[in-house]
Structure 1
């Protein structure tokens, strides 16, 4: 019998919070059971195993991040939309480092297709419509933006920019300006 108050949704949220505290790679069903002061077996009526728990956290994080990004870009176009989209990712990674890592968890194709990752791709394509890119340039641009945003956020989180006097925000703004310039240049090719 399931313990009163425990649900898959509650465990997913608690797992996401745990990921932010200890790192996504350290989230397990047994660690979550300790948080709820229950036996591990009592959680298995809600989640199958640690992989299932991590998948749920990943889907939760993707949805949460998609909502934030959508709110950020609403009513914006061009460089303003690009900057708002990028800032939403960076802010989310800073506020929820474990959840941000969870959003990068490899999902099987069927689960990924049903998750919010599709919304992320649609939003990126919508932003790129302002740059009038044809295929395959649009796909290349999506991959470039994802790589730049994720790379910067990951290096910043690891303290990679703490060794110079240049403010990371100044570099971030410079990168967004440079991406905008590049994307506008690609339009005229």
Structure 2
């Protein structure tokens, strides 16, 4: 977008126990369209992919008391980025541009982080769900059924773009209500 300006970039180690694997995101703003943007990169390399797959077996973490559970790797990756400077920059941008919409996006792992980021800023009251637009590409299942239901109630504008041959949106496999689910709306 020709009128978009980069605010900050964030690259943090998002692996709590294994070898270092970086998660990356950036913030930007557009005074013409009146938007603030959070965007997140997908999985980088075989080491990070292996960590994500192995982490499927470690379970989920609660996302507040009323919003279900989130896959551990995605939850941790978001909070490493959030505490690695993202929080301060989003708060600064919100202060500087209080009436702007927030657009949140990401691909693959970045899509899962984007879903959590949008959910977090809405749940904590930094933005209202009506003022957030979430669009992800190739997002894996991020949270459980309760997270998906909560998410659908909070976001009128939320889309997951999926290529029909991409395996990532179909992992981890879905077996029951306690497993991971997608929130709406899928576009093929």
Relative contact order, CA 8 A, sep 6+: which one is greater? 1
Q: TM-score, normalised by structure 2?
A: 0.27
* Bigger fraction of residues in strand: 2
Larger radius of gyration: 1
